Amino acid sequence: MQDEPTPTELIKAVADFLRNEIAPEIKGHNAFKLRVGINALDLVTRQLALEQGSDAAEAARLKQLLGADGSLIDLNRALCEKIAKGEVDLQRPGLAEHLWQTTMDKLAVDQPNYASYKRELGNK
């Protein structure tokens, strides 16, 4: 394991270099493809920064809702199965809040500039 720079710092540095040094020189369809690549690097940077905390919080909420333990994938699968079978619905205390917070955490990674996401952050 390396000390510095961290993987997040490396990815951010590459994205910034491409955005600030290369993008102004590229035109047409290649400029579009470059922006897609830069956006992907930005998304990975946010995921590395936020994933551990949001995954832990999501797992804790699921454990509370389901009264069970397991991996995040297994807990999500169990919740989906219970919803599909009609065993759990939005009347279940904590479910709506869990779904909302999970959605907000995913938007923080995927679309942090989404207008509705920003509006909801401002409403808190």
Residue 57 predicted with pLDDT over 70: yes
- Is the separation of the CB atoms in 71 and 77 below 8 Å? no
Question: Which residues, other chains included, contact 14 with Cβ-Cβ below 8 Å and sequence gap of 6+?
Answer: 41
DSSP string computed for 60-80: HHHHHHHT----HHHHHHHHH
Structural domain count, the chain:
1
Distance, in Å, from the CA atom of 51 to the CA atom of 67, rounded to the nearest integer, reads 23
86: left (phi over 0), alpha (psi -120 to 50) or beta: left
> Does 11 map to a domain?
yes
> Does 2 map to a domain?
no
The pTM assigned to this predicted structure is 0.80
> Does 22 map to a domain?
yes
Q: Report the candidate in 119, 104, 124, 111 with the shortest Cα–Cα distance to residue 46.
A: 111
Q: What is the pLDDT of residues 82-97, one digit of tens each?
A: 999 999 999 999 999 9
> Does 116 map to a domain?
yes
Q: What is the pLDDT of residues 72-81, one digit of tens each?
A: 999 999 999 9
Domain hosting residue 100, numbered range: 7-122
Rg of the chain, C-alpha, whole Å:
19
